[in-house]
């Protein structure tokens, strides 16, 4: 009887606590001085019917009732009904400087009036202008640019160059990585959710992912982030990262057991911070040691900067610079064109010359409109100090999310990232790091949207909130985002309490 009374009192006190948490008002959205136009197009139902009938069904939109976006400006989006949203996902980390930036719009429209298209069979000044600006942002010997149309295409071309240059064939990538959806890019991608049940091409090897939060090794001092990975004990000393060495042994095992006796490999590819994998960061010294090992075996190191490039990580213009490494090839996409479809491969002259062994041609790579847009993007990043803003606002946002984790340790398992490349991993058990159940995750995701903030989902279990906004966001936007996530988590706790499920999963 006494035990039952104590249990009832405990439940009552927790109920009062959650009611208090859930009573906070929905935060006020920051002001915006842009006045959107009124949508006069086809109705929502007509558009939805056409898309469901004629667009490939694998392209599933977010949310129970998909949003129909009509207009964008800066960090803001408006749907067809005029509702405003704070875009904290930037079209999957693609809108780097803000929607419909006036300087990009001006550059694109001017170039379209002058010359909309030509191919590399002719020279044209916009190509010269852009590649000159781009290589100035890279180490001196990365001086040859091949422009393409997407990050996936950049990955394909990088693999071809590596194989031609080295004479080897095998490509090593990390588990939990994503490098694109075309054949070779998909083969190097190592997430089951992105792999079809068809035989993959030969020559792709996946190695243990050096994830200091979810992997077998890692602790509080292992990664380059304003926040430590939860409460995991760190075995590192002042001069060495123990987790890095243990993950490196797994890479060394590839050469012992999975490659020919000569140990040769064509390339090793890694994102500087894994994007679709859930904003996963490696131990600080891992990439440097991995690059040394690959070079020792005659391979080429490829930095996938599709999501981390162009200042997004704040402290550096390129994500690989934060690891203290210099790649042989850099692949780019997404933010390179602020939403315009373009990509690039940048490499050393001796590697680029390997493509001369046959003809290689890209009809739209180096398109003058794309080059004009790419050039305008670089100008805006510099003129508006967006890399610096990514560092300042991003660090502030990460720290605020870290404080939120202290309020909700039973749901927020990890906050990680650099600059405006941020991940918030949601769990239902802080000890086992079990992912938040899908229904609860989807409800929380919907609630965040309903309060006016758009974020992404990532990770193998789709339990990581991906926060990768345009780099023009403000601290007020960061505050609003944190308060919305806070409100959504409180609501999730309340709903699960009412369903008598939450206490058995989390223990609150």
The pLDDT value given to residue 26: 74
Cα separation, 241 vs 91, in Å, equals 35
The pLDDT value given to residue 60: 86
- Average pLDDT over the chain, rounded to an integer: 91
Cα separation, 228 vs 236, in Å, equals 13
* pLDDT beyond 80 at 454: yes
* 193-199 own/partner pairs: CB under 8 Å, 24+ apart: 193/460, 193/462, 194/276
What does DSSP say about strands 171-174 and 267-271: parallel, antiparallel, or unpaired? Answer: parallel
* pLDDT beyond 50 at 14: no
- Structure-token pair, residue 460: 């193998």
Highest mean pLDDT among 217-221, 225-229, 425-429: 425-429
* pLDDT beyond 80 at 501: no
Domains of the chain: 53-87+387-506 (3.90.1150.10), 102-383 (3.40.640.10)
The pLDDT value given to residue 140: 96
Nearest of 188, 191, 250 to residue 217 by alpha carbon: 250
- DSSP H helices in 343-462: 349-352, 368-383, 386-407, 438-450
Partnered with residue 382 across adjacent β-strands are none
* pLDDT beyond 80 at 115: yes
Q: What is the pLDDT of residues 361-395, one digit of tens each?
A: 999 999 999 999 999 999 999 999 999 999 999 99
Q: What is the pLDDT of residues 236-288, one digit of tens each?
A: 777 788 899 999 999 999 999 999 877 899 999 999 999 999 999 999 999 99
Give Cβ neighbours of residue 394 (< 8 Å, ≥ 6 apart).
314, 417, 418, 419, 420, 421, 422
- Structure-token pair, residue 156: 């394909």
Classified as helix, coil or strand, 49 is helix
Residue 347 has φ and ψ, to the nearest 5°, of -150, -175
Name which residue leads in pLDDT, 496 or 350. Answer: 350
Lowest mean pLDDT among 6-10, 333-337, 480-484: 6-10
* pTM, 2 dp: 0.92
User: What proportions of the chain, in percent to the nearest 5, are helix, strand and coil?
Assistant: 40, 15, 45
Nearest of 11, 432, 31, 504 to residue 232 by alpha carbon: 432
Q: Using an 8 Å Cβ cutoff, are 28 and 414 in contact?
A: no
Instruction: Find the Cα–Cα–Cα–Cα dihedral 445, 451, 456, 461, rounded to 10°.
Output: -10
Cα separation, 252 vs 207, in Å, equals 10
Cα separation, 317 vs 84, in Å, equals 30
* pLDDT beyond 60 at 209: yes
Q: What is the pLDDT of residues 333-363, one digit of tens each?
A: 999 999 999 999 999 999 999 999 999 999 9
* pLDDT beyond 80 at 300: yes
Tokens 């002001």 identify what position? 31
What percent of the chain is predicted at pLDDT more than 70? 92
The pLDDT value given to residue 11: 37
Q: Using an 8 Å Cβ cutoff, are 204 and 187 in contact?
A: yes
Classified as helix, coil or strand, 97 is coil
The pLDDT value given to residue 231: 64
pLDDT bucket at 133, cuts 50 / 70 / 90: very high
- Structure-token pair, residue 299: 């391979």
What percent of the chain is predicted at pLDDT more than 90? 84
Name which residue leads in pLDDT, 9 or 298. Answer: 298
Q: What is the pLDDT of residues 31-90, one digit of tens each?
A: 999 999 999 999 999 999 999 999 999 888 999 999 999 999 999 999 999 999 999 999
């Amino acid at each position: 009887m006494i035990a039952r009374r104590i249990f009832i009192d405990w439940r009552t006190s927790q109920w009062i606590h959650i009611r208090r948490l859930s009573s906070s008002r929905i935060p006020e959205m920051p002001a915006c001085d842009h006045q959107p136009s009124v949508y006069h197009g086809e109705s929502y139902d007509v558009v939805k019917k056409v898309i469901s009938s004629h667009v490939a069904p694998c392209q599933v939109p977010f949310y129970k009732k998909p949003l129909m976006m009509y207009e964008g400006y800066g960090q803001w989006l408006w749907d067809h009904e005029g509702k405003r949203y704070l875009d904290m996902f930037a079209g999957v980390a693609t809108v780097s400087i803000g929607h419909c930036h006036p300087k990009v719009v001006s550059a694109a429209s001017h170039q379209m009036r002058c010359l909309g298209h030509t191919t590399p069979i002719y020279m044209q000044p916009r190509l010269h202008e852009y590649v000159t600006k781009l290589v100035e942002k890279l180490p001196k010997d990365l001086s040859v640019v091949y422009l393409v149309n997407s990050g996936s295409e950049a990955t394909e071309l990088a693999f071809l160059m590596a194989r031609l240059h080295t004479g080897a064939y095998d490509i090593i990538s990390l588990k939990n990585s994503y490098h694109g959806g075309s054949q070779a890019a998909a083969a190097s991608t190592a997430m089951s959710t992105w792999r079809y049940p068809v035989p993959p091409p030969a020559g792709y090897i996946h190695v243990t992912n050096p994830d200091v939060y979810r992997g077998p090794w890692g602790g509080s001092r292992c990664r380059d982030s304003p926040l430590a990975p939860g409460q995991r004990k760190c075995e590192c000393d002042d001069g060495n990262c123990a987790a890095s060495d243990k993950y490196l042994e797994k890479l060394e095992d590839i050469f012992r057991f999975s490659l020919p006796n000569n140990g040769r490999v064509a390339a090793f590819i890694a994102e500087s911070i894994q994007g679709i994998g859930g904003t996963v960061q490696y131990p600080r010294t891992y990439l440097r040691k991995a690059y040394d090992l690959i070079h020792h075996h005659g391979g080429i190191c490829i930095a996938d900067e599709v999501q981390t490039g162009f200042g997004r990580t704040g402290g550096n213009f390129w994500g690989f610079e934060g690891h203290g490494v210099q790649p042989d090839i850099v692949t780019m996409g997404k933010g390179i064109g602020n939403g315009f479809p373009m990509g690039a491969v940048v490499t050393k002259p001796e590697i680029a010359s390997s493509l001369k062994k046959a003809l290689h041609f890209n009809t739209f790579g180096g398109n003058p409109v794309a080059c004009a847009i790419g050039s305008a993007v670089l100008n805006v990043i510099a003129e508006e100090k967006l890399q610096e803003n990514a560092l300042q606002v991003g660090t502030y946002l990460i720290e605020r999310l870290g404080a939120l984790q202290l309020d909700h340790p039973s749901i927020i398992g990890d906050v990680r990232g650099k600059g405006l490349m941020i991940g918030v991993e949601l769990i239902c058990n802080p000890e086992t790091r079990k992912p938040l159940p899908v229904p609860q995750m989807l409800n929380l995701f919907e609630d965040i949207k309903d309060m006016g903030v758009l974020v992404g989902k990532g990770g193998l279990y789709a339990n990581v909130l991906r926060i990768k906004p345009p780099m023009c966001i403000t601290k007020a936007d960061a505050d609003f985002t944190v308060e919305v996530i806070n409100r959504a988590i409180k609501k999730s706790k309340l709903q699960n309490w009412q369903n008598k499920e939450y206490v058995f999963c989390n223990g609150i």
